Copies of this chain bind each other. A is one copy, B any other.
């Protein structure tokens, strides 16, 4: 046995679980109990055919609803729990189990229920919330079309107001306008919230949402065509489908009219004058979907890491020392390098998710609901969703490979985790599109509605008005001056501060973000000055746009981790921090340094890292891995994943 890391401290697993669960421990424990009760769904996902599994997932959705776990986000008066933060926490925890069930719950209560709740008014709430909260009424969220996924403003479905009958007439114009990939549509939904271009008196008022019956007593409603989207890579317990509407008539009251309405005699009215702003206000209310998916992805990654970590402390392969015994996988330096930075990043994202969930709760509970707060929430939700879902894809893949051939067997969970979570990087907003929205928020200082302005508009806006402001605003200007004064010979940080100085780590990721942002603004302006075509300019800087957004979100993630650490009480009378604080500190260092390491080329290119220090960071990461190694099992146990959710009988023992 080789283990040159002395166990520097003990982790109190139970206390760490309590810390991670936070204020939502109760609802999380309810979900854990429900997951264990229905653990057989993991096998059923493999054994049942698609039709039977879809029915099973529907059945379970209704059963979960009866326990209260899925209705936390709805007002109490309609049978909900009245706590949006708890509803996200419940969803996150549900991601430890079968992800078809997770997504079915997300479609029914998050997308469909959320649209009724946030876009509708009392008449819709009274009519639909009680039954949808129990799962008696199933519905779907029909936004995406075959021709338009990310660019929702360009949807092709049209809803024309007919004054004579006081009805909306909904029509799909061409196959590109068919609703596509719609969860719950192929089989179970009775109602659809349909997003369509509203036309009133010959005038287009932009995209609005309507409640449209698509099934009546189990039969497809007249004028509606439904097609099954067919087998998918994963999530086959969710019945995705396509919808066409051929002059389908719904009453005037079917318009979800919180932000706009049509009077009986055909006058369009809205408290929000600007059409773009109105549209993005509507979309913005749906931000909880992104917060949910991001949190779910992070927890799916935890399942993979828990299995791979437990396997790595059981599995031996090859002799490495002279004692004749084979060495544990997790005692290999490379294996530590593969798993432990991912473990650290998972913790970091967990705390970042706490922040975005809290912001969501504050905004939607009215605790802090102003324009600026909403835009910042939307940007943070988009960024956390993008990084969290990519992290899940990468982590699940690395963990599968780290479990070798055993990782390929379905019983060991990776098959489902990988296939089911794959689309998380795409749905609820394609990650690349989301990061562009994040960058736009930074460039415009959230001056506009979050999703307003396509890249064309963004380029014009930034170059036309904002670039000087951005350059002025980013304090990078001052930082650069300071660096210039100090170079050559490194700067203060390089010479004096240790790599494990939290302020050093924060300064590095802050500098990167600000420098990238100012550079992007300059490139946009220069490009437009020289070429004139904003499309070409944008295309040329697009990788820079994505990099800025990533840098921004990683800064937020590190700050979330550091802030969390600062809230932890200092140690006992002996002056030593407790084991959990020590362990989290190691993880925070590991996350910060591996984040810097993976972009160390950029830091060197921009004068923030000397060659010597860059190499020192890589060495320090190896040191940190060795220190985290003896704590690794406790750290994955602290996530409180019910053991039945791990399956993997031969891997986790």
Contact = CB atoms under 8 A, between A and B. Distances in A.
Interface of A: 2, 4, 46, 144, 146, 148-151, 154, 180-181, 229-234, 317-322, 326-327, 331-334, 337, 393, 397, 400-401, 404-405, 407-411, 414-415, 418-419, 422-423, 425-427, 430-432, 454-456, 533-536, 538-543, 545-546, 600-601, 604-607, 611, 614-615, 622, 650
A111 to B, nearest CB: 14
A contacts with B: majority SS: helix
Nearest to A611: B605
Nearest to A236: B410
A211 B151 CA distance: 62
A538 B327 CA distance: 12
Contact of A456 (B230, B319, B545): B319
A381 to B, nearest CB: 20
A241 to B, nearest CB: 12
A533 B229 contact: no
B408 A232 contact: yes
A320 B2 contact: no
B540 A333 contact: yes
Contacts of A454: 318-320
A630 B465 CA distance: 34
Contacts of A546: 334
Contacts of A543: 333-334, 337, 622
A425 to B, nearest CB: 6
A414 B233 contact: yes
Contacts of A410: 230-233
B426 A401 contact: yes
B151 A326 contact: yes
A229 to B, nearest CB: 6
A409 B232 contact: yes
29 contacts: A2-B533, A2-B535, A4-B536, A144-B405, A149-B317, A151-B318, A151-B326, A154-B326, A229-B409, A230-B410, A231-B411, A232-B408, A233-B400, A233-B409, A319-B454, A319-B456, A320-B454, A321-B533, A321-B534, A321-B535, A331-B539, A334-B432, A400-B422, A401-B426, A401-B430, A404-B426, A419-B419, A600-B601, A601-B604
A546 to B, nearest CB: 6
B456 A322 contact: yes
Contacts of A326: 151, 154
Contacts of A426: 401, 404-405, 407-408
Contacts of A425: 401
Contact of A146 (B319, B542, B605, B650): B650
Given A321-B533, A418-B233, A454-B319, A333 B541 contact: yes
A149 B408 CA distance: 14
A46, A604, A611: which has the most chain B beta carbons within 10 Å?
A604
A601 B405 CA distance: 33
B604 A605 contact: yes
B539 A2 contact: yes
Contacts of A2: 533, 535-536, 539
A640 to B, nearest CB: 26
A148 B317 contact: yes
A426 B425 CA distance: 25
A73 to B, nearest CB: 25
A485 to B, nearest CB: 19
Contacts of A405: 144, 149, 180-181, 423, 426-427
Nearest to A323: B535
Query: Which A-B residue pairs are the 9 nearest by beta carbons?
Result: A320-B535, A233-B415, A321-B535, A601-B601, A231-B410, A334-B542, A333-B542, A333-B539, A2-B535
A418 B144 CA distance: 25
A233, A319, A423, A607: which has the most chain B beta carbons within 10 Å?
A233
A330 to B, nearest CB: 10
A622 B401 CA distance: 32
A364 B229 CA distance: 49
A581 B421 CA distance: 42
A542 B318 CA distance: 14
B230 A411 contact: yes
Contacts of A393: 397
Contacts of A541: 333
A432 B199 CA distance: 60
